[in-house]
Amino acid sequence: MEDVFVLIAIVVWAVVGGIVGYLLGRQRGTPEAGAAMGVFLGFVGWLFILTWKDERTKCPQCLGVVPKGAALCMHCGSNLQKNGAPAPPLQVSAPTNDREG
């Protein structure tokens, strides 16, 4: 009976460690590595994850996190093109009046 309790405790520890590690790693841009550190090292792994460099792409103007390959920053609107080329124009469709009346 004790062996079953120990096995359940280890599994719960690994699952909770992996979930918390994944969430912390996602905030650093490396969720899979965060989950692995959480599973194998527990709270010590969480501390390691918090010291990692943030791998996500950031805007040079406002330092907001932007999706990879974005042309414009969604926070401040600055151009993110590396070669100085203008960002592609936004395509805005004109509103349509579909009401008959």
Evaluate whether residue 99 is within a structural domain. no
How many domains does the chain divide into?
2
Let me know whether 11 and 45 are in one domain. yes
Phi, psi of 75 (to 5 degrees): -95, -50
Please tell me whether residues 29 and 63 are part of one structural domain.
Answer: no
Average pLDDT over residues 26-52: 90
Mean pLDDT (the chain) is 83
Residue 15 DSSP symbol: H
Is the Cα torsion angle 3, 7, 12, 13 positive or negative in sign?
positive
Stronger pLDDT, 84 or 66, i.e. the higher one = 66
Tens of pLDDT along 62-74? Answer: 888 888 888 888 8
Full domain range(s) for residue 62: 56-83
The pLDDT of residue 55? 80
Does 20 lie in the same domain as 44? yes
